[in-house]
Chains A and B, each alone.
Chain A
Amino acid sequence: MSAGLAEPAAGRMALSLTVNGRSLRVEAEPRSHLGDVLREGLNLTGTHLGCEHGVCGACTVLLDGEPARACLTFAGAAAGAAVTTIEGLDDDPVATELRAAFNREHALQCGYCTPGMLVAARDLVLRLPEADERRIRIGLAGNLCRCTGYAGIVRAVMSVIAARRARGVLPDTGAARALGPVGARIGGTVAAPLPPLPGRAASVAPATAQELSGTFEPAHRFTQAIDLTHPPEAVFALLGDIEAVAACLPGAVLTGHPAPDTVEGGLQVRIGPIAATFRGRARIERDEAALSGRVRGAGSDAGGRSATQGEIRYRVGPGEAPGTAKVALEVGYSLTGPLAQFGRPGLVRDLAGRIAADFSRNLDARLSGTTPIPVSLNPLRLVLGLARARISAWLRRS
């Protein structure tokens, strides 16, 4: 940050930005993204916010002349950058042609996507060598429009490209540009401390234990098998001891046992940098004759933003060797909230596979009379185990 800037208010950082040609000093929280800086700080509300995770394209602006997502550019990342919003394109010749074409071709209806759409369309007009419909459609795939069906938008962009190329205006090759993310300046140290907010660490509100609804249709299902070196009856008996099961399940904590068939507790899961602790309640049913059972649970993470409901059906049967057991698990679950928005079923299955492997190892140890080592979900250890499993699986086949 240049020395000429006065000290910002507590918890905020001072930035010098060039916005639509004007040099400005802006103050923002480090966590603010450029879309909020423009809209809330500078009242430039032409930049629209839709999904705020880079998918919808409504917030697309020009950073150093190139399109970028305002919602994925944090304030500090834009320090020193030149920003052009839709308001700054009033006199831009390409945008002027595009506005006329959008009008002519009915390329907008509600208008929410239009500012981002025009910024993306302008980039296509400058870069595409010719009015190729397929490439225009591909190029607009990152700007969601739910009104027009794109037909008018594509016609508008095609007509502007065709007209410009007919006038002999050549496409821009983009060759002259420094390497690295647009908007990011080399050198120029930026530093903004953590805002002194009260209760930051203490914001882990206890999630309410959800009631288990009568009917449950899981969104995702998978099966998992666990092999144990102990007889089925012993395994089934152990699975009836909920304290023992929780002790064997990595990341699980029991906090209450309000009814004989009901437990309360939490499960900590970790996928890469994501860590979530689900707290909730589970109900257990067992069929002694069939050596089978069912665990139904529901929970939410701290703050209740992500919620899950799940069901595990298990059946203990004889293993391949005498005196061993195989536990067949059928897992069904539904996940809602940010974790679901980000997560893909594959990642959850991968995680479940790793948890099941640790779980079966701990069950085996418990049945053999040794206490399982209390395990937290150590991602490195899990991943090493996973890598080993995959390598050995491959070696077995070749």
Chain B
Amino acid sequence: MKPAPFAWERPASLPALLDRLAGAAGSVKLIAGGQSLGPMLNLRLVEPDLVLDITGIEELRQARIEGETLVLGACVTHADIEDGRVPDLTGGALQRVAAAIAYRPVRNRGTVGGSLVHADPAADWVSALIALGADVEVASLSGRRTLPVERFVTGALEVALEPGEILVAVRVPARPAGAAWGYVKHCAKIGEFAHAIGAVRLEPDAGRGRIVIGAVEGPPLLLADARPLFGGRIGPDFAERFDGRAADAALAAAGMTDAVERHVHVTVLARAVAQAAKPTPLSLREAA
């Protein structure tokens, strides 16, 4: 359980990192908190020549609000969000997701950017941030670009990063007043990777909503227009209108052939819808 040898460098600034990334010979992996890459290195499933530690870069360890958008640097940790050390525009949605990721010692080092780039289909942020309509900001020597998380996560453990690019920030839009949020995951043991995830962000006033069914075999299944799952209309009575059969059909159409698996995912999604409909805010600290 020891990694194969690698070189280690921690550049002190983003330009230095991008220079090094563009010029490095051999295979390179970026590391932030290392809570996903660490196990893969220890198991020798990944054997890079060079590991570039991005946690020394100040810009990646900041959070700020830009108008109606929360900007989280790539190296903001789950615990930073859980403890409220970063501002919030999501009415506690991010905080609730963060507090239930893995275990506290993992949350103290694991980062939101690292989790997205690792793109494990069963991890929390890939599903939650797609449902929240977040974007990622990507930088390289030739400039920056922004793309929605659902286009960033292209497959199981696959993202749309080009060579020389790094994810620098996550941009989360404000949750409008009246927008309902529900996020439920099913784990057989607390802290393990989820077997099913349901994430819903519904705007009953505007009659629209997004739903994500996560912890599937590939990238999370995004239903950008969730109305078909509510009999064609999303209103204040969305919880009663939720149609599990429509969700089941969506999963079947997306290629989930196992009826038991579909049942688990639909059940978890129904719980997320029910949670979104609860009038009282849930306890923010569901995990310790």
Which A residues have a C-beta under 8 Å from some C-beta of B?
11, 13, 29-33, 36, 51-54, 57, 60, 63, 66-69, 71-77, 79, 120, 123-124, 127-128, 135-136, 138-139, 141-143, 173-175, 177-195, 197, 200, 223, 271-274, 276, 305, 338-339, 341-342, 344, 346-347, 349-351, 353, 379-380, 382-384, 386-387, 389-390, 393-394, 396-398
Contacts and interface: CB of A to CB of B under 8 A. Distances in A.
A314 B190 CA distance: 40
A179 B75 contact: yes
Given A128-B288, A141-B191, A273-B40, A68 B105 contact: yes
B182 interface: no
Contact of A53 (B12, B43, B73, B225): B43
A181 B78 CA distance: 9
Most buried by A among B29, B60, B158, B189: B158
Contact of B288 (A31, A135, A193, A353): A135
A344 B80 contact: no
A124 B35 CA distance: 21
Given A180-B76, A181-B75, A72 B217 contact: no
A29 B287 CA distance: 36
B49 to A, nearest CB: 6
A138 B107 CA distance: 14
Interface string B75-104: 111011001111000000000000000111
Given A190-B53, A274-B157, A72 B250 contact: no
Contact of B61 (A179, A190, A276): A179
Given A192-B9, A383-B158, 18 more contacts: A31-B5, A33-B38, A57-B105, A63-B109, A72-B42, A141-B103, A142-B103, A180-B60, A180-B77, A181-B109, A183-B109, A189-B11, A338-B44, A342-B43, A344-B193, A349-B217, A382-B155, A390-B255
Interface residues of B, number: 90
B228 interface: yes
B5 A11 contact: yes
Given A347-B217, A350-B217, A394-B254, A184 B42 contact: no
A379 B31 contact: no
18 contacts: A52-B42, A68-B105, A72-B38, A74-B41, A173-B83, A180-B75, A180-B111, A181-B108, A192-B7, A192-B8, A192-B9, A272-B118, A273-B40, A338-B45, A350-B218, A379-B155, A380-B158, A387-B219
A188 B158 CA distance: 31
Contacts of B158: 272, 379-380, 383
Interface in B55-87: 55-58, 60-63, 73, 75-77, 79-80, 83-86
Contacts of B8: 13, 30, 74-76, 190-192
Interface string B209-250: 000000011110101010010000000000000000000011
Contacts of A75: 8
A300 B49 CA distance: 23
A244 B87 CA distance: 59
Contacts of A394: 221, 223, 250, 253-254
Contacts of B221: 390, 394
A179 B29 contact: no
Nearest to A75: B8
Contact of B109 (A68, A79, A383): A68
Nearest to B27: A273
A67 B61 contact: no
Contact of A77 (B53, B58, B105, B121): B53
Interface in B108-163: 108-111, 118-119, 121-122, 154-158
Given A74-B38, A342-B39, A188 B108 contact: no
B51 interface: yes
B56 A187 contact: yes
B35 A178 contact: no
A305 B105 contact: no
B279 to A, nearest CB: 23
B154 A384 contact: yes
A76 B288 CA distance: 29
A66 B189 contact: no
Given A346-B121, A347-B217, A177 B109 contact: no
Contact of B105 (A52, A120, A185): A120
A136 B288 contact: yes
Contact of B7 (A174, A177, A193, A387): A193
A179 B77 CA distance: 7
B106 A305 contact: no
Interface string B1-35: 11111111111100010000000000001011111
A180 to B, nearest CB: 4
B50 interface: yes
Given A175-B85, A180-B77, A29 B5 contact: yes
Interface string B163-175: 0000000000000
A386 B155 contact: yes
Contacts of A191: 7-10
A71 B42 contact: yes
B284 interface: no
A54 B106 contact: yes
Contacts of A36: 2
